[in-house]
Amino acid sequence: MKAILLAAGYGNRLKPITDKIPKPLLPIVENCMIDINLKRLLNAGSSCVGVNLFHKHEIIEHHLRKYEKHVYPAVEDILKGTGGALLNFREFTEDDFIIQSSDVISDISYEEILNFHRKNGPVATLVMVRHQGTKFRIDKENRIERILGYDTAPYTYAGIGVFSKRIYSFLPEQPVFTIVDVLRKIFRKNEPILGIPAVIHWYNINSFYDYWKIHADLLQGRTVLDGLEHRSPFYIAPSSRVETKDLCGFVSIGDNCSIGKDVHLENTIVLPGSKLQTGRYRNCVISDTIRIAVT
């Protein structure tokens, strides 16, 4: 079984952080987002994961070298969109395959959604969550009836799904398009799309608050995800030098930081490479040059 991880976007909602650090490489405590998802997919039985790249692709490609033959990077010449990304992997995918956004972190069981998809045989099976976004209506047999826009129905696509190889016959004949464009074309052909309403730990890292919240939940023990368990609310990367003892709430300090004794940190994420000698920081994401309040 193969999988696709979507990792090509600019990460505009997390600028100016993503001007320097590509979004897939943003740390979630001691692991970056792309590593969390790659390890989960590989541990779930994926023989190889295709990763589409565009923004700062050289940095991400260098990072992915450690996975050797278990990752298939595909660099786009233009940003093709969440649906157009499939054009990179027509020859790569075999039979049914998982697709996931790299900025989605969850504890979904890939085995369960694969088994459900294979048992029912639709073109696509989508994991659905109660959240803001494009809304879908699902009937009692888990068949998605309609895509309704932003204002009605309880479920939205979680950024995780299983597609049949047949999906490629429904791709629009254009270079850039979204997953929703593909789904609408499937609907017009009266082919089934199934939805699985899921009660899971799920984070879509699309805002500074989302980025801050997953750190808060992990470090304070409100969420436990495989391989991301923490016994302390304070994480200090081994490569960082921290003199202050004035830490409150939760604190995550990234790689290669230097924090002086006159710094107060409370409910704060310190980005890699930061040098701080004085200051009081609360409920924020910070670096040498950035201070982003989140509450």
What are the pLDDT digits (tens) for 261-276? Answer: 999 999 999 999 999 9
Could you tell me where the DSSP H helices lie in the chain?
17-20, 33-43, 57-64, 81-84, 110-120, 179-188, 208-219
- Res. 148: pLDDT tops 70: no
Cβ proximity of 85 and 4 under 8 Å: yes
| Residue in 253, 231, 232 with CA at minimum distance from that of residue 243 | 253
17/84 same-domain check: yes
Looking at 184, 200, 216, the residue that finishes a domain is 200
Q: What percent of the chain has pLDDT over 90?
A: 77
Distances (CA, A) of 145 to 17, 131, 175, 182: 39, 18, 27, 15
Q: What is the pLDDT of residues 215-267, one digit of tens each?
A: 999 999 998 887 788 889 999 999 999 999 999 999 999 999 999 999 999 99
Q: What is the pLDDT of residues 15-61, one digit of tens each?
A: 999 999 999 999 999 999 999 999 999 999 999 999 999 999 999 99
Asked if residue 212 belongs to a domain, the reply is no
Looking at 200, 215, 235, the residue that finishes a domain is 200
User: What is the residue range of 97's domain?
Assistant: 2-200
Q: How many domains does the chain have?
A: 2
| pLDDT score, position 188 | 86
Cβ proximity of 86 and 1 under 8 Å: no
**DSSP E strand boundaries for the chain:** 2-6, 27-28, 31-32, 48-53, 71-75, 97-101, 104-106, 124-129, 135-138, 144-149, 155-163, 193-197, 202-204, 234-236, 241-242, 247-253, 258-270, 275-286, 291-293
Structure tokens at 156: 């939205």
Asked if residue 118 belongs to a domain, the reply is yes
Q: Please report, for the domain that includes residue 106, its CATH number.
A: 3.90.550.10
| Average pLDDT of every residue of the chain | 92
Q: Which amino acid is at 163?
A: F
